[in-house]
Structure 1
Amino acid sequence: MTSQTDLAAMMCSRLCHDMLSPVGALSNGLELLADERDPEMRARCVELLEQSARISTQKLKFFRLAFGAAGGFGEAVPVEEAQDVISALAGENKRVELNWAIAEASLPKPAIKVLLNLAQIALDALVRGGTLDIGAERRDGNVEIVARAVGPRIAFDETIGAALQGDLDPADITSRTAAAHMIALLAEEMGGGLQYALSEDALVLGGVLPEPEGMIW
């Protein structure tokens, strides 16, 4: 069985893995810049450093909203913050078209966490590009969330899907499935649930979360 300590350790491993590439690129770029004397090559090094710094900042902003605990479960988060984070991450892949269908100005923090994680999973599935559609709406006392990835090739590990639906043995949770497991636990604690549907050219991820009691809109 996965303890809270184990889950925290796996989440840390996930974060370190995701940050290793851009931070490593920063370190390598600084070393190259220190030894390079050609103006054109130095300009290129600076460009790569700026790109690595931008990616690092985008990932940290994502981690803060998607995994952070600040603010508590009852706080509303502006949807614009989530849109900015996902738009920045998707912007690194020029072959992905991003579409939004969210009328609400803000959503409860648990809904934002679920939305961001589902969007990231869907984005990762578009290895050859495609379209990422993200939507959310309030209906009958619930917040309904959907992220749909459509493309020529969908790369999706169904153990992540099993973790989302609570069907994966906790003993089998890894750093790869820890985020999905985390939001599945969050949805369960709130009395909601997550699900997914996979076909050859599409992945649909969805969640239904009851609105927190006492939430002011």
Structure 2
Amino acid sequence: MSSPADLSEIDLASLLCSRLCHDLLSPIGAMNNGLELLADETDPEMRARCIELLTDSARASASKLKFFRLAFGAAGGFGDKVDVNEPRQLIEGLVADKPRVELQWHVPSDLLAKPAVKVLLNLALIGLDGLVRGGQLIIAAEENGGTCEIAVNATGPKVVIDAAVAAALSDDLAQATMSPRTAPAYMIKQIVRRNGGDIQLAATPESLVIGAMLRV
């Protein structure tokens, strides 16, 4: 894979699209399997199970599409601010597929600037990916005096973060390799930097804390 220094905007867009497709492959593949089973199944109980599978997969696909539309794309309306209920609902949609994860939301503001929302969503995704055995995903954000501070804390029995993702967030160019997995981290690092801020990260086997500060 290329290094961050060699990455063009087209390359970044391509990697983000690849990440989206990767995350959608599982629920859409489950829908396809469910339809195939439903076409051949005559037992009422099994047909009901197939329909349940289709319903769950359709919900998961819709949740991920809505999430990535704002996290990677240009959703959120025409204004400069986004109602905090929107990112909260999007994160809740992803957490719903992980029954061993508990979400704690601490965002007193009613509105957040769009760049801050993108950073918050992508940091939440990194934290959620790290909770491989479940745990708590704690999200906090607040705007004050033209600055937005964001903190995501993932705690659990085993918390992991991909070394390349951590390197992309920390500007460790020697370790940062660009791939669909690391592209979101690289994108939000650039958003924060363009808004005069920075990202800090601290990781242990039981906790991952990522903080971001940017002007809004």
- Alpha-carbon distance in structure 2 between the residues aligned to 1:11 and 1:196: 22
- Alignment match, 1:103: 108
Q: In the alignment, residue 39 of structure 1 is paired with which amino acid?
A: P
Aligned counterpart for 2:139 among listed residues 108, 124, 134? 134
- Alpha-carbon distance in structure 1 between the residues aligned to 2:169 and 2:97: 26
**1:59-112 Cα distance to aligned partner (Å, 9 max, x none):** 001001101124689610110011101111112111111111110011011100
Shift of 1:170: 9.6
Q: In the alignment, residue 165 of structure 1 is paired with which amino acid?
A: S
- Alpha-carbon distance in structure 2 between the residues aligned to 1:134 and 1:73: 25
Percent identity reads: 55
Q: Is the 8 A contact 1:73 1:108 kept in 2?
A: no
Secondary structure at 1:172's aligned position in 2? coil
- Alpha-carbon distance in structure 2 between the residues aligned to 1:82 and 1:11: 19
Q: Is the 8 A contact 1:161 1:195 kept in 2?
A: no
Q: In the alignment, residue 194 of structure 2 is paired with which amino acid?
A: E
- Alignment match, 2:30: 25
Shift of 1:164: 1.4
- Alignment match, 1:114: 119
Shift of 1:28: 1.0
Q: Is the 8 A contact 1:73 1:110 kept in 2?
A: no
Higher deviation after alignment, 179-188 or 162-171:
162-171
Secondary structure at 2:121's aligned position in 1? helix
Q: In the alignment, residue 40 of structure 1 is paired with which amino acid?
A: E
Aligned counterpart for 1:172 among listed residues 177, 180, 188? 177
- The answer to whether residue 55 in structure 2 is matched with residue 50 in structure 1 is yes
- Alignment match, 1:83: 88
Secondary structure at 1:100's aligned position in 2? strand
Shift of 1:12: 1.1
Secondary structure at 2:126's aligned position in 1? helix
Aligned counterpart for 1:8 among listed residues 3, 10, 13? 13
**1:144-193 Cα distance to aligned partner (Å, 9 max, x none):** 00000010101211221111133235982111100000111111111111
- Alignment match, 2:208: 203
Q: In the alignment, residue 172 of structure 1 is paired with which amino acid?
A: T
Which segments of 5 or more consecutive residues in structure 2 lack a partner in the other structure? 1-5
- Alignment match, 2:3: none
CA RMSD of aligned residues (A): 1.7
Q: Is the 8 A contact 2:153 2:209 kept in 1?
A: yes
TM-score scaled to structure 1, two decimals? 0.92
Tell me: CA distance 1:124–1:195, structure 2 relative to 1, closer, same or farther (3 Å): same
Which segments of 5 or more consecutive residues in structure 1 lack a partner in the other structure? 212-217
TM-score scaled to structure 2, two decimals? 0.93
Higher deviation after alignment, 72-81 or 108-117:
72-81
Shift of 1:119: 0.5
- Alignment match, 1:145: 150
Structure 1 residue ranges, 4+ long, deviating more than 4 angstroms after superposition: 70-74
